[in-house]
Structure 1
């Protein structure tokens, strides 16, 4: 059986190649895009986990995945400090813009007073110093390595304004580039404004109770727990789960349709061969098994090619677009199962069609 299946695939290499590419496309779609989604959400979670503050206080709509606005008054800083259970607060402006290098994705900047922010979140400057002037910034280690920056270099932000790198901070937290709060307020023309306020709760205080007090004293605002940024990072990407489900369906469809079309046309060309096999005693089950065997081998080859393509594409994306890609064994297994099932389903009709070929009719007409 195996020899027959291999011989059939080798006899029509171009059709086999097209089928394998079709299955590989479905596998690559699932593995690569789920890896990209996982990488982005895990990166968000890791950076959020470095916040030691338990609460993020903001206005509804002020902070989304791809946009942020300085719509929160810094007068809330004093009001929050008056609430029982609050130890410290730090206002932050988050600025999000398209990638300045024309790459896919966004660039995030934070405007924050470094000393209280660092004390609250147990962060430190590992090289250089904190920003002081309004044209100075600090960056995290990854940003320095990816962009080959060094302290003293000048980078352009806000559409071409020059800013000098004066320090490197660790661990990564929030945006990878930070400047002083006053500098951000000045460039955005938003005096006494911020995007959100980080709230650190006193030791021994129940966070939920502090949240309830804040809601009672300052109603109409939006309160997030930083632990939810870590746990629900994937849910914070609007429509991500729906997109992934659609992607899985698309991958299955692509695999099935390529196998169906290629095997169907192959069966039409192999009527005489199948007729001879049946005249020699091959049963319908044998014919169906042979066709499904071809589909299985095509699926296996497609899985291998798809994984290779995904790995190469991930390398290119990380190098050129600075987007993290993290493959998951679970999604790789899902892609493999979908490819195999899609191949079997796609081969069902051609296999059934082949099993119904009448050897007498074939011999008489050919």
Structure 2
């Protein structure tokens, strides 16, 4: 009886003897596993970035928008009446639970000029008030953020992100300097701390803030929707604050008791749930693509093993004539299939983790290693090896020694 150690030795020797064929088979498995692991690793990194950003924004903030932010709007939702600055002001007057009510408007694709330089035309301008920074987890590294007096007076002042600072002033002192936005002059009063995530509704490093009372008339934003951030006084009062906010806004917008809300009111935990569902969908999509690639690679494994059986017919006949049992031949060929697939699987896991964590370098976030999915990949390629390797192995084990020895 052939020992298991001898079977392993012969299987590895057979693989080394057909190096190019083995390498091509491994490559097919590698591509399939790489697709899965790269996708789920990238999604894990993105989920970590998003979760971190939401935590920085705070678990006490409720965001009011006219249309949903986590999915495509329906036709009915697109026809909803706008949220206006007046709505925010009336909400602030009536709210009893809210610690702050902060309206904001947004304008993308701006170019800033200053210091003899200009930025790329991808700066986001936000018209906001003094409460915006606290409601959205923003901090200032130099100078100050907007204050109530800036909004009341409609001052031409601006708080800039670090990317704007670098592009206009090469990272040097910017406080008190003048910048131009669409030809209008603004004085820099603050610089935001650099954010490591830079993902989501906008990259906070490529953003500038001006008083909302100045932004709306200066940039023609009177017809644009206002986003309203409502901050609860404590985490345990988020639900009550949200309910009160919804009730007040329904009254302001003249909704009847039976009418549905014509706005969205989402707390930070609700945003996290929506983003988690989105990331899960991305991960499953990547896993589906990888599964298809693995099945295709499995067919390749079977073809290679069948060719190997044909080429090694005389070898099988010699082994059987020397006392090897059918089980020994079966185990050897199955082991060869498993080794091939596991080699491809391990390489695919390594490359997939490296590729997926490329996003971690981009967003300057912690790397991710999807342990659960790596285990699934190892088990999966083993199943592929056994499924697609069993037929060639059975065929090899059933060869008759006399006929095998006659094979040319």
Structure 1 contact 19–259 (Cα < 8 Å) conserved: yes
Structure 1 contact 5–291 (Cα < 8 Å) conserved: yes
Following the alignment from structure 2 to structure 1, what is the Cα–Cα distance between the partners of residues 19 and 263? 64
**Which residue is equivalent to 1:60?**
67
| Structure 1 residue 136 displacement after superposition | 5.4
Q: Which runs of 5 or more structure 2 residues have no equivalent in the other structure?
A: 1-6, 110-121, 175-180, 251-260
Report the more deviating stretch, 354-363 or 30-39.
354-363
Q: Does 1:353 align with 2:375?
A: no
Structure 1 contact 36–323 (Cα < 8 Å) conserved: no
**Which residue is equivalent to 1:214?**
245
Task: Work out the number of aligned pairs and report it.
Answer: 347
| Structure 1 residue 129 displacement after superposition | 5.1
Structure 2 contact 83–226 (Cα < 8 Å) conserved: yes
Structure 2 contact 301–388 (Cα < 8 Å) conserved: yes
Q: Does 1:295 align with 2:337?
A: yes
Q: Does 1:138 align with 2:157?
A: no
| Structure 1 residue 108 displacement after superposition | 8.5
**Which residue is equivalent to 2:12?**
6
Following the alignment from structure 2 to structure 1, what is the Cα–Cα distance between the partners of residues 218 and 46? 28
Structure 1 contact 41–234 (Cα < 8 Å) conserved: yes
| Structure 1 residue 140 displacement after superposition | 5.8
**Which residue is equivalent to 2:99?**
87
Report the more deviating stretch, 278-287 or 4-13.
278-287
Q: Which runs of 5 or more structure 1 residues have no equivalent in the other structure?
A: 98-106
Following the alignment from structure 1 to structure 2, what is the Cα–Cα distance between the partners of residues 316 and 236? 20
**Which residue is equivalent to 2:192?**
168
Structure 2 contact 99–231 (Cα < 8 Å) conserved: yes
3-state SS of 2:38 partner: helix
| Structure 1 residue 14 displacement after superposition | 0.6
Q: Does 1:260 align with 2:267?
A: no
Match of 2:38 among 14, 32, 40: 32
Distance change (3 Å), C-alpha of 1:78 and 1:286? same
Distance change (3 Å), C-alpha of 1:76 and 1:247? farther
TM-score (norm 1): 0.78
**Which residue is equivalent to 1:76?**
87
| Structure 1 residue 46 displacement after superposition | 0.8
| Structure 1 residue 113 displacement after superposition | 2.4
**Which residue is equivalent to 2:208?**
179
**Which residue is equivalent to 1:334?**
376
3-state SS of 2:369 partner: coil
Q: Does 1:127 align with 2:142?
A: yes
| Structure 1 residue 170 displacement after superposition | 5.8
Q: Which one has the largest radius of gyration?
A: 2
Cα deviation digits, residues 324-358 of structure 1 (max 9, x gap): 66332222222222222222222122212222223
Report the more deviating stretch, 293-302 or 324-333.
324-333
Match of 1:45 among 48, 51, 64: 51
3-state SS of 1:167 partner: strand
**Which residue is equivalent to 1:104?**
none
3-state SS of 2:323 partner: coil
Following the alignment from structure 1 to structure 2, what is the Cα–Cα distance between the partners of residues 135 and 204? 33
Report the more deviating stretch, 330-339 or 186-195.
186-195
| Structure 1 residue 126 displacement after superposition | 1.2
Following the alignment from structure 1 to structure 2, what is the Cα–Cα distance between the partners of residues 260 and 187? 69
Distance change (3 Å), C-alpha of 1:365 and 1:341? closer
**Which residue is equivalent to 2:322?**
280
**Which residue is equivalent to 1:111?**
126
| Structure 1 residue 93 displacement after superposition | 3.8
Match of 1:22 among 24, 28, 31: 28
Following the alignment from structure 2 to structure 1, what is the Cα–Cα distance between the partners of residues 235 and 62? 15
**Which residue is equivalent to 2:230?**
199
Structure 2 contact 43–283 (Cα < 8 Å) conserved: no
Cα deviation digits, residues 74-108 of structure 1 (max 9, x gap): 222123322332221122345678xxxxxxxxx89
